[in-house]
A and B are shown apart, each in its own frame.
Chain A
């Protein structure tokens, strides 16, 4: 099924551990992004990519790394997990705008991460 696939769905980490959240899309979308969702704060952009080999920081990038070696995959790495990174993480993809038009974002089902 076409869409955005995120794994794992749930994860518990100890402070200081590292891990990678996986995101893959099969729609040949150029643009991919990671958001974190926290109560009362909506969704905040962590990192985004406009194509393979190109990434940039969003609103809250500290403590996270990304890479984009292929169009399909956009993993998010937590280098040394902290309790403040407890959140729900969403990956999203879309065609590049280039100018505004009728298109939309596709969201993954999310990863619920708890850091203890």
Chain B
């Protein structure tokens, strides 16, 4: 079965700092990859997704992620974070064998002024 690892559990950054959140998955076949964001008290929102083609994916709010197949990774990046980016971020993987979406344990991002 597939699994997803997010190594950063809690990240604290100052506003304008650059962000990179790690995500690794374990599955040998074709995958779809997602990053979701959950702002305090809200439900999950899709930030970006990778299905095929260009491994560098751009999402909403200036976020991007790069799919590196050889490293089974899909790291999330943002050049300059804002206070409003304070949220929890989840990486997720979907494989072709079923519609089940498997989530990582999440990374809590705190952006200070």
Interface residues of A (CB under 8 A from B): 31, 33, 35, 40-45, 48, 50, 58, 90, 92, 94, 96-97, 99-102, 104-105, 107-110
Interface residues of B (CB under 8 A from A): 6, 9, 30-32, 34, 42-44, 46, 49, 51-52, 90, 94-96, 98-106
B109 to chain A, nearest CB (A): 15
Q: Indicate the member of A41, A42, A110 with the most B CB atoms within 10 Å.
A: A42
Contacts of B6 in A (CB 8 A): 42
Contacts of A35 in B (CB 8 A): 103
| Contact between A42 and B94, CB atoms less than 8 A apart | no
Q: Closest 4 A-B residue pairs measured CB to CB? A: A42-B105, A43-B103, A31-B99, A42-B103
Q: Assess A100 versus B103: contact at CB under 8 Å? Given A107-B43, A107-B44, A109-B43.
A: no
